Every structure is written in structure tokens, then in C-alpha cells.
Amino acid sequence: MTRSRSALALLFIALLSIILTPYAAAAAPSVYKVSVDEWYGFYRAIETNHTQFKYENQTLNINVGDTVIWINDADEESITITSEEGLWSPAYLKYSYHSFNYTFTLPGTYGVYMKEFSRRPHQTIVVSSVATPTVTTPTLTATETATETASPAETPQPTSPGFNLWYILLAFIVVAGIVVFIYLFKK
């Protein structure tokens, strides 16, 4: 009887894990920090979860819902971060390490520049809509060749799931299943 309970508990844990995995795989929005100074402009960008991405020619590729934080890295200069499209009123960063952030909610290509140093290269932010994975199902035609009916949408760069509550719930369920299994096995 104990082995059947153990097997039933493990089956239940496995079923819950399979059901909850798609929710855990959903990517949380990313946060990017861009360092700005009077000499190099928008010279460095990092993703706070340390996900690898490409930042070249002051172009940042992000997804809808991602946040960009601009940080004044100038020694003694004040910097005003300005959107070419007027997405926000100009953000005045008076001192070193003062910051301003903006969450992009619409896909598109946006320009950002420093008002005081408008001759420095402007930053380009390319915002893509969040890709939702689609199922690829092969279909057979009369000649027995498989063709794809749908393909997954591409994202501009890999995104990190970051802190996700579903991962914690999934880990809790797995640990609880192991504890139940050990408890039932000892009886």
C-alpha cells in the first residue's frame, strides 16, 4: 500500500510540474542600464540579469515592457536625456550617478540624445513586440513532404526569465513531493 501511495504522490508531482512549466518559462521584462557621459555619449549598456546581448553603434534592441535606465556617468557635467519622439519630458540629471528610467510600451524605433551634447552620437532603441511561441506542426501533402505551418517569432536578443514566482512555486512543489515520497517510503 505504501508503494502505491508513493507512486501516486510522484505522479501527482510530475503532473503539476508539467502543467506549471509553461508559466515558469514566460520571460519577465528586462531592465537595461545605460551609462552616459559628455565624452563618449551612450557608451555602455548592461542588462541587470547579466543576459548576453549586443550593443553596438549606440543601438539597443529590447522588447515591449522592458525598462531602460540612463545613468549620468559624467564627472562634473549635467546631462539632459531627451526623446526625439517626445515620449517623456526631458530628464535633467544634474549630478554624477543620477538616473532616469522609462518603460517602453509600444514597438518601434526611438531616438534618444543628450540635450547639452547634441553632436554626440544619438542612441537608437529598437523595441520589438514580445514574441509568443507558436506550435510548429508538420503537415503532409500528396507527395509526402512535410511543410511547416507556423514558425516561432524571433526576438531581438535572448531574454532572461529573471525573478519569476512560477519558478518558486514549481520548486516548492518538487521539494514537497520529495518530502512526501521520503515520508511514505519510511513507513
pLDDT band per the 50, 70, 90 thresholds, residue 84: very high
pLDDT at 140: 52
pTM of the model: 0.58
The answer to whether 61 and 157 have CB atoms below 8 angstroms apart is yes
pLDDT for 138 beyond 60: no
Quote the radius of gyration of the chain (alpha carbons, Å). 24
Tallying the residues shown for the chain, one arrives at: 187
* Cell matching residue 18: 508539467
Domain 31-128, second-level architecture:
Sandwich (2.60)
The answer to whether 77 and 120 have CB atoms below 8 angstroms apart is no
The answer to whether 164 and 26 have CB atoms below 8 angstroms apart is yes
For the chain, the domains span 1-26+164-187, 31-128
Per residue in 59-69, pLDDT tens? 999 999 999 99
pLDDT for 31 beyond 90: yes
* Cell matching residue 141: 501533402
